[in-house]
Amino acid sequence: MADAQPAPSVGNEHKYGGAEGAEAMYVKLVSSDDHEFYVRREYALTSGTIKAMLSGPGQFQENETNVVHFREIPSHVLQKVCSYFAYKVRYTNSLSEIPEFPINPDICLELLMAANFLDC
């Protein structure tokens, strides 16, 4: 006779949010070469540009869909930007020693232009 597994209780379910709706936990950032990055909303709001796109009442389509397309930012740069968002949230107001954020010299100029556009 097989052991019966207890049914999961409602209070113990993991909730990971999603990328749809006004209260979504994640947003989707799409690079110029169509790579998709799902990022925590709080991390993406590190960018002043993304914050403006996701905040105002109906000014931008991104506010409704939680999807932001970047026609000028390739995936290798957007990936680094997403890593920076997590780094910035993690170490802002941190009392621990802040490690250097690693940047490949080959993407420095592209990353600088993206950071300027994204206001982060």
- Secondary structure element (H or E) that encloses residue 38, with its range: strand 36-40
In this predicted model, what pLDDT tens digit does every residue of 43-79 receive, in sequence order? 999 999 999 888 866 555 655 688 999 999 999 999 9
- CA nearest to 88, candidates 107, 106, 80: 80
Q: Give the separation between CA 53 and CA 61, rounded to whole angstroms.
A: 8
The pLDDT value recorded for residue 58 is 59
**pLDDT band per the 50, 70, 90 thresholds, residue 9:** very low
**pLDDT band per the 50, 70, 90 thresholds, residue 14:** very low
In this predicted model, what pLDDT tens digit does every residue of 73-111 receive, in sequence order? 999 999 999 999 999 999 999 999 999 999 999 999 999
- For the chain, which domains are there? 21-118 (3.30.710.10)
Q: Give the separation between CA 24 and CA 35, rounded to whole angstroms.
A: 20
Q: Which residue has the higher pLDDT, 69 or 11?
A: 69
